[in-house]
Amino acid sequence: MTRVAVTGLGPVSSIGTGAEAFAAALLAGASGISQIQSFDSSGFPHRNGGEVRDFDPARWLRRLDPQRWGRSSQFAAAAARLAADDAGLDLDSLDRGRAHAVLGTTSGESVVAEALTAQILASGFPGMVPELIEQLPAGRLAHAVSEELGLHGESLTLATACSASNYAIGYAYDLLVTGEADVVFAGGADSVCRWAHAGFFKLGALTETACAPFDRDRSGILTGEGGAVLVMETFEHAQRRNARIYAEVLGYGINCDAKHPVAPDRESISQCMRIAHRSADIKPEEVDYICAHGTGTPANDLTEARAVIEVFGDNPPPMSSIKSMIGHTMGAASGFGAIASAIAIDRGFLPPTINWQNADPELSGVDPIPNVARRATVRVVQNNGFAFGGNNAIVMLGAVR
**Interacting positions 238-267 with another protein (CB under 8 A):** 254-262
> For another protein, which is the closer residue by CB, 128 or 376?
128
| Residues binding another protein: number (CB under 8 A) | 78
Which of residues 233 and 265 has its CB atom nearest to another protein in the complex?
265
Any idea what the Cα angle at residue 17 is, between residues 15 and 20, rounded to 5°? Answer: 95
Rounded Cα gap, residues 247 and 61, in angstroms: 26
193 part of the interface to another protein, by CB under 8 A: yes
Q: How far is the CB of 72 from another protein (least distance, A)?
A: 11
Closest CA to 5 of 184, 190, 227: 184
What is the pattern of x (binds another protein, CB under 8 A) and - over residues 6-45? Answer: ----------------------------------x--xxx
Nearer to another protein, 262 or 372 (CB): 262
**Contact region for another protein (CB under 8 A) — 24-32, 80-88, 109-117, 211-219?**
109-117
CB of 156 vs another protein, minimal distance in Å: 6
138 part of the interface to another protein, by CB under 8 A: yes
Query: Of 48-56, 184-192, 197-205, 306-314, which segment contacts another protein by CB under 8 A?
Result: 197-205
Residues 353-392 that bind another protein (CB under 8 A): 387-391
Q: Is 136 exposed, middle or buried (0-12, 13-18, 19+ CB in 10 A)?
A: middle
**171 lies in the site for another protein, by CB under 8 A:** yes
Site string for another protein, 56-95 (x = CB under 8 A): -------x--------------------------------
- Nearest residue (CB) to another protein, 27 versus 161: 161
Nearer to another protein, 244 or 259 (CB): 259
Q: Which of residues 140-169 bind another protein (CB under 8 A)?
A: 140, 143, 146-147, 150-161, 167
Residue pair 14/52 in contact (Cβ under 8 Å)? The answer is yes
The answer to whether 53 and 37 are in contact (CB under 8 A) is yes
Minimum distance from CB of 125 to another protein (Å)? 4
Is 114 a residue that touches another protein (CB under 8 A)?
yes
Q: Can you tell me the distance from the alpha carbon of 220 to that of 205, in angstroms, rounded to the nearest whole number?
A: 5
Contact pick of 128, 359, 376, 400 for another protein (by CB under 8 A): 128
CA-angle at 271, arms to 270 and 274, nearest 5°: 90
Task: Compute the C-alpha angle 257/322/114, nearest 5°.
Answer: 70
**Interaction between residue 194 and another protein (CB under 8 A):** yes
SS3 282: coil
Closest approach, Cβ 246 to another protein, in A, equals 24
Q: What is the DSSP string of 162-173?
A: GGHHHHHHHHHH
Q: Which of 58, 203, 299, 372 binds another protein (CB under 8 A)?
A: 203
* Selected range binding another protein among 78-86, 129-137, 306-314, 372-380, rule: CB under 8 A: 129-137
Gap between the Cα atoms of 47 and 59, Å rounded: 28
Closer to another protein by Cβ: residue 205 or 302: 205
d(CA 69, CA 216) in angstroms, rounded, equals: 42
Cα–Cα distance for residue pair 50/168, rounded to 1 Å: 23
Give the CA distances from residue 334 to residues 169, 271, 384, in Å, rounded to whole numbers and listed in that order.
9, 18, 7
Query: Mind telling me the catalytic residues?
Result: 162, 293, 328
Query: From CA 7, how far away is CA 244, in angstroms rounded?
Result: 6
196 is an interface residue for another protein by CB under 8 A: yes
Residue 281 or 285: which CB sits closer to another protein?
Answer: 281
- Count of other CB atoms within 10 angstroms of residue 367: 17
C-alpha 147/C-alpha 210 separation (Å) is 37
Least Å distance between CB 354 and another protein? 26
Least gap, CB of 112 to another protein (angstroms)? 10
Cβ 164 vs Cβ 137: under 8 Å: no
Task: Supply the DSSP symbol for 203.
Answer: T
User: How far, in Å, CA of 57 to CA of 77, rounded?
Assistant: 9
Q: Quote the Cα angle for 331-334-339, to 5°.
A: 125
Which one of residues 21, 28, 91, 198 is an interface residue with another protein (CB under 8 A)? 198
